[in-house]
Chain A
Amino acid sequence: GESVGLHLPTLSVQEGDNSIINCAYSNSASDYFIWYKQESGKGPQFIIDIRSNMDKRQGQRVTVLLNKTVKHLSLQIAATQPGDSAVYFCAENSKDTGRRALTFGSGTRLQVQP
């Protein structure tokens, strides 16, 4: 994760469309990745995670893809709903360091247009 600037990248989609939110990471030793959703005025909420021995994991309406070659992570939301409007963060962790805390990325704001 990197420090964030004043402006979050924003993805605007129409209700019912699919959304793809991207995240790049820099630590080659990272072996565990998580997506969080943060709604206005609330704390981040866990969505889905994936370990480095996988390249895809599916949940309910969400899919996470991991490309370790280019250090890229994406979150796909199917049939996006107004309730999906939030800021989405990717986070990473490395077991090698023994550090159990997560490092968060800068976030992407998802706006769903009705």
Chain B
Amino acid sequence: DAGVIQSPRHEVTEMGQEVTLRCKPISGHDYLFWYRQTMMRGLELLIYFNNNVPIDDSGMPEDRFSAKMPNASFSTLKIQPSEPRDSAVYFCASSWASSPGEAFFGQGTRLTVV
């Protein structure tokens, strides 16, 4: 397996534009997590899914953020409209139900909103 695949690796966009980040989890994993990493706040959980169902979205900062998981092999995180303070590295991770702590992270998407 190629691991968790995120795209794009880098995204530069103008304030107000819509941004969509994509994630392909490891096949067979039951959980999918979206994290955001910044120097100021470290690694923060945004939302996580179990068997494609959103379980906890309390970390989603605002209504501008939304996430979907239409099937077991794909998830998106959308920001609309984007703002400069959304600039961060966004990570997707997945894990088995039997090992929730052993999450496998993707390479991340570095988002810059100018």
Q: Are B101 and A91 in contact (CB under 8 A)?
A: yes
Count residues of A near B (Cβ-Cβ below 8 Å). Answer: 27
Q: Are B41 and A89 in contact (CB under 8 A)?
A: no
Chain B residues contacting A99 (CB-CB under 8 Å) are 56
Residue of A with least CB distance to B6: A43
From A5, A43, A46, A104, give the contact of B106 (CB < 8 A).
A43
Residues of A31-47 at the interface with B, using a CB-CB cut-off of 8 Å, are 32-34, 41-46
Chain A residues contacting B55 (CB-CB under 8 Å) are 100
Count residues of B near A (Cβ-Cβ below 8 Å). Answer: 26
Given the contacts A100-B31, A100-B100, A101-B48, A3 and B41 also touching, CB distance less than 8 Å: yes
A selection of 16 A-B contacts at a CB cut-off of 8 Å is A3-B41, A32-B100, A32-B101, A34-B101, A42-B107, A42-B108, A43-B105, A43-B107, A44-B105, A45-B105, A46-B103, A89-B43, A93-B100, A100-B48, A102-B45, A102-B100
Q: Which residues of B contact A (CB under 8 A)?
A: 4, 31, 33, 35, 39-43, 45, 48, 50, 55-56, 91, 93, 97, 100-108
Beyond contacts A91-B101, A102-B103: 10 other A-B pairs, Cβ-Cβ < 8 A, are: A6-B40, A32-B101, A44-B105, A46-B104, A101-B48, A101-B56, A102-B45, A103-B45, A104-B35, A105-B42
